[in-house]
Amino acid sequence: MEALINGIDNVNGFIYTYILIILLIGVGVYFTIRTNFVQVRLFPEMFRVITEKSESKNGVSAFQAFSISAASRVGAANIAGVAMAIATGGPGAVFWMWIVAIIGMATGLIESLLAQIYKVRDGENFRGGPAYYIQTALGKKWLAVLFAVLISITFGLIFNSLQANTLANAMEEAFSFNPIIVGIVVALVTGLIIFGGVQRISKITSIIVPVMAIFYVGVVAFVVFTNLNLIPNVLSLIVTEAFGFREAGVGLLVGALIEGARRGLFSNEAGMGSVPHAAAAADVSHPVKQGLVQSLGVFFDTIIICSATAFVILLSDVYQSGAANGVALTQASLSDHLGSWAVGFVAIAIFFFAFSSLIGNYYYGESNIQFIKNGTIWLQVYRLAVVLMIVVGSYIEIGLAWGLADIFMAFTAAVNLIVILLISKVAFAAIKDYQQQRKAGKDPVFYQKNIPGLKGADTWVDNESDKQS
């Protein structure tokens, strides 16, 4: 087992040095420049559109779609992943997490609005994602199926096993619960929810996500405010170690950059092709609206939630000992600030964070299973596989869980990033159309005919707005 884990770690070094750093950041910078820093210019607009209600009583609102994606994003990476990044790459890794998030906001916007443009109807709801825009925009069915298989395995099985692993470890650390028992209980509850479909998923996540985020950030904010005099020192530490100034070492710089990038991506998922599935489910009048909402999700996840965890850890001296890693480091750090009860609090926070991620991750897989084979039997088999992997993930080695997640994440992200680069002209045109309508004082409405050469966006031709026109 140890040899397998070490082998996975070695592969990760190659994958993330050459694929994630170059491709992910490179694509994000290109989108940022090409859209004239859309994530900065339209930042206030993000808050306006997220509160809009769906015109359809049966549809998923912009906020509910945001909640589904947030349920997947806000999970183990926000508590355990940040701790691992700091333990492995040092405090400087936090700085690179921020950079990846800011750049990733542009990437998240592009992929989500593309999912909206090429979404399809599924009864009273919508579904879509990279597999759908790959097939429609590029006309490559084989590549669409490849991506659908990759992301179904990555999120529904591998990532869910990691969330279960983090959840079980946290409960064992705090309450000495048997990880296997925890895994079985969580698997059964998850099964009851995912067999209910997207409507049940969206309603549950729209309640869990805001509540759990408020409680966690509230406790962390208390720690930060009671240590305000130390914040300048923490910020200085993050910046100096991000560039290797403190120890003047190239190795320190590279280590911080790689750890910050890989954990940042796993946390906010910008460019991975996962969030577009939630974005496609929303019933909005213009694709850019949901792109903006999901871009805000990247900011919320990394700049708010991940930073909260990072400050708790760096305001304590526990991380310097190297005795704890992952969720145990976060628990020990918060306990250092607030007392032993904090260990249990983090375990409960992890439970809700990870549990909501299990639901959100499953939804991404479901959407792609339906793309590959639209049949009830295949979907039921997939649901059972998801439930089984939650149990398996509860007792596997933590290094193996994170290693497998890193590898599958890299391949999934690579395929999606290349695709959205190839069809990004459609996204740029949609953004231009949205801005022109906003400048004219209108509530933007999307029409396929307004984008020259656009084909395959048939959902928008048949929607209620076009009928009325």
Assign 144 a pLDDT band (cuts: 50, 70, 90). Answer: very high
Share of the chain above pLDDT 90, in %: 24
- Out of 3.40.50.720, 1.20.1740.10, 3.40.50.1820, 1.20.1050.10, the CATH code matching 2-433 is 1.20.1740.10
Cβ neighbours of 176 (radius 10 Å): 7
- Give the C-alpha distances (Å, rounded to integers) separating 468 from 47, 346, 463: 28, 51, 9
Residue among 390, 362, 336 nearest 156 (CA):
362
Of 86-90, 391-395, 419-423, least confident by mean pLDDT is 86-90
Residue among 224, 390, 406, 240 nearest 307 (CA):
224
Q: What is the mean pLDDT of residues 309-319?
A: 87
Judged against a pLDDT cut of 80, whether residue 349 lies above it is answered with: no
Tokens matching residue 152:
């179904």
Contact 80, 327 (CB under 8 A): yes
pLDDT at 255: 63
- Give the C-alpha distances (Å, rounded to integers) separating 323 from 170, 211, 318, 330, 333: 16, 32, 8, 12, 12
Assign 202 a pLDDT band (cuts: 50, 70, 90). Answer: low
457 — phi, psi (to 5°)? -90, 55
Assign 125 a pLDDT band (cuts: 50, 70, 90). Answer: confident
pLDDT at 145: 93
Q: What is the mean pLDDT of residues 266-278?
A: 80
Judged against a pLDDT cut of 80, whether residue 263 lies above it is answered with: no
Q: List pLDDT tens digits, range 29-74.
A: 999 999 999 999 999 999 998 887 766 655 677 777 777 676 666 6
Q: Which residues pair with 126 in a beta bridge?
A: 121
pLDDT at 244: 65
Task: Please give the Cα distance from 151 to 144 (Å, whole number).
Answer: 11
Judged against a pLDDT cut of 90, whether residue 453 lies above it is answered with: no
DSSP string, 193-210: HHTT-HHHHHHHHHHHHH
Task: Please give the Cα distance from 263 to 218 (Å, whole number).
Answer: 23
Q: What is the mean pLDDT of residues 295-317?
A: 88
pLDDT at 113: 94
Q: Which residues contact 29 (CB under 8 A, 6 or more apart)?
A: 103
| Residue predicted with more confidence, 278 or 57 | 278
290 — phi, psi (to 5°)? -75, -30
Tokens matching residue 359:
């639901």
Judged against a pLDDT cut of 80, whether residue 380 lies above it is answered with: yes
pLDDT at 395: 81
Q: What is the pTM of this model?
A: 0.81
Judged against a pLDDT cut of 60, whether residue 320 lies above it is answered with: yes
Q: Which residues pair with 125 in a beta bridge?
A: 122
3-state secondary structure of 282: strand
Task: Please give the Cα distance from 36 to 168 (Å, whole number).
Answer: 44
pLDDT at 11: 47
- Let me know if 239 is exposed, middle or buried by CB neighbors in 10 A (0-12, 13-18, 19+): middle
| Residue predicted with more confidence, 5 or 384 | 384
Q: What is the mean pLDDT of residues 317-343?
A: 78
- Let me know if 282 is exposed, middle or buried by CB neighbors in 10 A (0-12, 13-18, 19+): buried
pLDDT at 337: 86
pLDDT at 196: 63
DSSP, res 374:
-
Judged against a pLDDT cut of 70, whether residue 110 lies above it is answered with: yes
Average pLDDT score over the chain: 81
Q: What is the mean pLDDT of residues 217-229?
A: 86
pLDDT at 204: 64
Sign of the torsion angle spanned by Cα atoms 161, 164, 170, 175: negative
| Residue predicted with more confidence, 459 or 323 | 459
pLDDT at 8: 44
Token pair 């006309």: residue: 139
Q: Which of 68-77, 180-189, 390-399 has the highest mean pLDDT?
A: 180-189
Task: Please give the Cα distance from 465 to 452 (Å, whole number).
Answer: 19
Assign 206 a pLDDT band (cuts: 50, 70, 90). Answer: low
Could you give the residue ranges of the DSSP H alpha helices within 339-453? 341-372, 376-393, 398-422, 424-439
Q: Which of 101-110, 212-221, 359-368 has the highest mean pLDDT?
A: 101-110
3-state secondary structure of 69: helix
| Residue predicted with more confidence, 133 or 194 | 133
Q: What is the mean pLDDT of residues 298-326?
A: 82
Residue among 147, 144, 126 nearest 136 (CA):
144
pLDDT at 325: 64
pLDDT at 75: 63
Q: Which amino acid is at 264?
A: G
